[in-house]
Structure 1
Amino acid sequence: MQSKDTYTIGEAAKMIGSTVKTIRYYDEIELLKPSSHTEGGHRLYTAKDLWRLELISTLRYLNFSIQDIRNLISGETGITEALDLQIEALEVQVGTLNSMISILRQAKQYESESASDAGQSLRYITGLVDSLSANVEKRKQFVSAKMEESRILEGVPQEWRVSFFHFFDKYIMKENKLSARQTLAWNELQELISDPGYLADLARCELPFFSMVHHPQVRAEDWVRKMEEIRIRTTTALEQQWPAGSPAVQAVVQDFVMMYASSEQSGDEEAFFRKQARYMLNSVTERILRFNKLCTILNPESSVVVDGVSLLMDGMRHRLGQLDRTQTESL
């Protein structure tokens, strides 16, 4: 028997302006399950359920993804962070649409001002898109030229320069043909790489790498192999959803940080870890984070690297917190 304080799926759909099919889908994916069922197995929703359904409908209207909504409702993502992420996503979409509209308007003007056939007009549109979307080699040349101009890699042997660009070339500069959204990200990334402030941030962030290069404990190719092993282990941790404080993640964090230690520094692992981890964490600026975000837009597959670095950073914070607490308790 249905309580007067509950509503059928049809009543719920009507009250929030949705459809039975949509509400049933939210149940199937476990985004929002009904509080109870009738003896016949029909879904029943409470007033609290209706409020959540209306919230979900509102967030979907604002273009939040199902996963974003799930994270927000569960509390995994804070409201301010969720709003900031969605604002940024929509701003990217607006920029992408404006870029596409500009191309279409130029093509329309070309068509109206010339006596070209359809083939020529279509080639003109293709040319416009190609002029905005640089291929992989052009993008690599741009980045390489900017690095040379900044002199960040001055004095770095060629084999270590290849190591420096390894993840960038392998995971970011992978797509050959950029979409409109990716072109917008590439344009912003070019501005960022041309910014002296970002280049200074990059030099400071990569100082441990440059210091290690001048006193290498391993060969450049071995360094790349070890970094790839770190990437594989962090990717596994992300897939298994292991927390930053888990033994597996902490083992990766330890190995990652100690890769930068010289043979002398390895003698006191704790002291080196404290100094190195704090430096790494403090050298990550908003410009560095923005660069990483743009890279994931240029090639979504690069998120395995960016997310892996974030997990390592969280792991460092956890370990430093533990070391600080142990030190305090010993006093």
Structure 2
Amino acid sequence: MRTEVKTMTVDQPRTTYTIGQAAKMVQTTVKTLHYYDEIGLLRPSTRSEGGHRLYSPDDLWKLELIGTLRYVNFSLDDIRKVILGEITMPKALLLQIEALEVEIGALSSMLSILKQAQQKQQQGDSQESAPYLTELVASRSAHSSKRQQFVDRKVQEIGLLEQMPDEWKNSFLHFFNRYVLPTSKLTARQTQAWSEVQNLLNDPVYLEELANYELPFLHMALQPGLQADDWVHYMELIRIRAQEAVKHQWSPESAAVQKLTADFLLLYADVEQRKQPEVFVRKQAQHLLDATTERILRFNQLCAIVNPEWRDIASGMDLLMRGMKVLVEDRQ
């Protein structure tokens, strides 16, 4: 970190800086600071009597941190979560390392393909290099039909849903089938992420964790309080409401997010559990919090790479999880 920011301590006199001074001190532009303010990433601590932005030493430290995290390819959304304390720095670093490992794997795969195509051309097959390149890419990219076949086969192998009525099997896989599998052609980065998804689905430890995480759903499906189609419909409404809450940056403590969280949790209640909704909501919240492992989180991260639409679902689920923490703490 640059010394002009690091050496500012709480023992120094309280000082504020104009937006021009702040931009110069953290080596960025006024336009960038305006943008950070507009999107709510970092708003200045105060304003002058004339309404001009004034930045405190703490603001400068946060701006320095934002610049550092941007340098190592953090998204603005992830940086916002770090700044607001929604995720810890160790967790943020782990997620970014895993994301970059996907990138490295994808780049390695692309480099291998290009070198093989180049070698083909150097061998005198200049007319064949383009078709050969196409064949190489096709051999490594899993088309939607192959991905669907793999999932269908894994469902049969693990037997997680074997006792469940067919309509509930479809409900269980609804989001995955709709938002991950339909992508017709994958990029190298998406192909690398899909390869890791397959590895997880072949990992007995992950499958055990998944079964534990989804245990309430499996119980509910045998004695459902709703029809399967209605359950999917309400779950889609939860998705839309969660995305709206994320968009407006509603806090987990807000009444709207707490209501959304309770509505989500109740979708996992069976007929008997619906008779005592408050008891079930707290119990289900605690279960999901306890059952969320690093592998469960990794799976969602990989799905968001395979299909960016999943990122909105993951962001909504992250807000719901934070809502569950508030719910559990308030009722202890």
Provide Cα deviations, 1:252-311, integer angstroms capped at 9, x if missing partner.
222222223233322222222232222222222211111111001111111222222222
Instruction: Give how far 1:181 is off.
Output: 0.8
- Cα distance in 2 for partners of 1:105, 1:215 equals 57
User: Do residues 93 (structure 1) and 103 (structure 2) align?
Assistant: yes
User: Given the alignment, which residue of 28, 43, 50 partners 2:34?
Assistant: 28
Contact 1:27–1:34 (CA<8 Å) still a contact in 2? no
Partner of 1:272: 280
- Cα distance in 2 for partners of 1:272, 1:71 equals 29
Runs of 5+ unmatched residues, structure 2:
1-15, 47-52
Partner of 2:4: none
- Cα distance in 2 for partners of 1:300, 1:235 equals 14
Q: Which amino acid aligns with 2:249?
A: Q
User: Do residues 80 (structure 1) and 83 (structure 2) align?
Assistant: no
Q: How does 1:7-26 map to 2 (within 5 A)?
A: 23-26=29-32
Instruction: Give how far 1:134 is off.
Output: 0.7
Q: Scaled by the length of structure 2, what TM-score is found?
A: 0.80
Partner of 1:116: 125
Partner of 1:318: 326
User: Do residues 156 (structure 1) and 157 (structure 2) align?
Assistant: no
- Structure showing greater radius of gyration is 1
Instruction: Give how far 1:89 is off.
Output: 3.1
User: Do residues 106 (structure 1) and 116 (structure 2) align?
Assistant: yes
Contact 2:265–2:281 (CA<8 Å) still a contact in 1? yes
Identity percentage over the alignment? 48
SS at match of 1:102: helix
- Cα distance in 2 for partners of 1:309, 1:211 equals 21
Provide Cα deviations, 1:130-182, integer angstroms capped at 9, x if missing partner.
11111111101101101111111112222211111110011122321111111
- Cα distance in 1 for partners of 2:106, 2:312 equals 24
- Cα distance in 2 for partners of 1:259, 1:50 equals 45
Q: Which amino acid aligns with 2:120?
A: Y
User: Do residues 167 (structure 1) and 201 (structure 2) align?
Assistant: no
Partner of 2:205: 197
Instruction: Give how far 1:64 is off.
Output: 3.9
Contact 2:257–2:323 (CA<8 Å) still a contact in 1? yes
Instruction: Give how far 1:69 is off.
Output: 5.1
User: Do residues 126 (structure 1) and 134 (structure 2) align?
Assistant: yes
Q: How does 1:137-156 map to 2 (within 5 A)?
A: 137-156=145-164
Partner of 1:329: none
Q: Which amino acid aligns with 2:73?
A: N
- Cα distance in 1 for partners of 2:295, 2:176 equals 16
Identify the range of structure 1 (66-75 vs 312-321) with the bigger mean alpha-carbon deviation: 66-75
RMSD: 3.4
Partner of 1:244: 252
SS at match of 2:225: coil
- Cα distance in 2 for partners of 1:287, 1:148 equals 21
Number of equivalenced pairs: 309
- Cα distance in 1 for partners of 2:20, 2:289 equals 50
Contact 2:69–2:79 (CA<8 Å) still a contact in 1? yes
- Cα distance in 1 for partners of 2:301, 2:178 equals 16
Contact 1:26–1:33 (CA<8 Å) still a contact in 2? no
